[in-house]
Amino acid sequence: MKKQILALTMAAMMIGSLTACAGSGKGDETTAAASNGGAAGAVLTMATNAEFPPYEYHDNNAIVGIDVEIAEALAEKLGMTLEIEDIAFDSIIPEIDSGKADIGLAGMTVNEDRLKNVDFSDPYTTASQVIIVKDESDITGPDDLEGKSIGVQLGTTGDIYASDYEETGSTIERYSKGFEAVQAMMQGKIDAVVIDLEPAKVFVEENEGIKILDEALTVEEYAIAVKKGNTELLDKINTALSELKESGELQKIIDKYISAE
Ligand code: GLN
């Protein structure tokens, strides 16, 4: 009888730790694992949208990139196991807000609007929006976007920037992936794409007949999103992040994916 109870307890424990490691929406299990003294290994769930090279993208079956490596390094410092949830970009903040994901790392720019719903860590890099056009395009800078059709990724800072042109008669086409916007432009469906510089570089490198215009449209900072008011996690992340900055590890990760010009 005793043995049976023990077996049952063990089975329950195994199921418990399996749930703690599997799938998505582990907000509660994470807390449970942590309060167990982390014996099962607490899970740090990262919400991202793996359509944003070189920050996060699919490489065969794996999700790789700068943000993934930063998150792995942070999780290691926090003694946690990283799990990645690949979801739509505009679902990342709701996912953190609801507690289903612990952190959002998605080349995500800090802005006032997002700060109403999540807290952000210290920035880990700077970025900008740029315009991609076909080589033969007559669009040479932001003023030429007036009245044109502009493709963006839905809910991004590129979307916000381009939307200002609607009052000049421009139409904004919003895609769920940045690359879909680039493809639509290559097919002649739209005139230009507004997107972050580093993914723009990847898309232009991998495709013939398109180019990035020189003028940067914005100055932005990427940071890690956490649930509003979760200062405990935010402090840990900021401490770990500053260690990664000081040790040079952060720069090493960035340099692995972005070659200096
Ligand atoms: N930096 C942009 C933003 O925060 C784009 C991010 C992305 O598409 N992953 O909106």
Ligand 1 close to Cβ of residue 129 (< 6 A):
no
Distance 157 CA to ligand 1 centre (A): 6
Looking at residue 145, what is its pLDDT? 98
For residue 2, pLDDT beyond 90: no
For residue 195, pLDDT beyond 60: yes
Ligand 1 pocket test, pick from 49, 93, 105, 108 with the greatest ligand atom count within 8 Å of Cβ, gives: 108
Give the pLDDT confidence of 141-172 residue by residue, as tens digits.
999 999 999 999 999 999 999 999 999 999 99
For residue 7, pLDDT beyond 80: no
Average pLDDT over residues 43-60: 98
Do 236 and 125 touch, CB atoms closer than 8 A?
no
For residue 218, pLDDT beyond 60: yes
Distance 131 CA to ligand 1 centre (A): 14
Q: Whose CA is nearest to atom 5 of ligand 1?
A: 156
Give 260's pLDDT tier (boundaries 50, 70, 90): confident
Percent of the chain with pLDDT over 70: 84
Ligand 1 pocket test, pick from 66, 89, 118, 129 with the greatest ligand atom count within 8 Å of Cβ, gives: 89
d(CA 235, CA 34): 16
201 Cβ contact partners less than 8 Å away, ≥ 6 residues apart: 212
d(CA 259, CA 148): 33
Please report where in the chains the tokens 């943000």 appear, as a residue: 67
Ligand 1 close to Cβ of residue 52 (< 6 A):
yes
For residue 14, pLDDT beyond 80: no
Q: How many CB atoms lie within 10 A of CB 240?
A: 18
Give the pLDDT confidence of 53-85 residue by residue, as tens digits.
999 999 999 999 999 999 999 999 999 999 999
Do 170 and 148 touch, CB atoms closer than 8 A?
yes
Do 145 and 165 touch, CB atoms closer than 8 A?
yes
Q: Which atom of ligand 1 is nearest to the CA of 159?
A: 10
Ligand 1 close to Cβ of residue 65 (< 6 A):
no
What is the pTM assigned to this prediction?
0.84
Distance 160 CA to ligand 1 centre (A): 10
DSSP secondary structure of the chain: -HHHHHHHHHHHHHHHHHHHHSSS--HHHHHHHHHTTTTT--EEEEEE-SEETTTEEEETTEEESHHHHHHHHHHHHHT-EEEEEE--GGGHHHHHHTTS-SEE-SSPBP-HHHHTTEEE-S--EEE-EEEEEETT-S--SGGGGTTSEEEEETTSHHHHHHHGGGGGT-EEEEESSHHHHHHHHHTTSSSEEEEEHHHHHHHHHHSTTEEE-S-----EEE--EEETT-HHHHHHHHHHHHHHHHTTHHHHHHHHHS---
Percent of the chain with pLDDT over 90: 83
Looking at residue 34, what is its pLDDT? 39
Ligand 1 close to Cβ of residue 170 (< 6 A):
no
Beta bridge partners of 45: 83
Q: What radius of gyration do the chain's Cα atoms show?
A: 21
Closest CA to 126 of 257, 259, 254, 256: 254
Ligand 1 close to Cβ of residue 156 (< 6 A):
yes
Give the pLDDT confidence of 100-125 residue by residue, as tens digits.
999 999 999 999 999 999 999 999 99
- The three state secondary structure string of 218-259 is CCEEECCEEECCCHHHHHHHHHHHHHHHHCCHHHHHHHHHCC
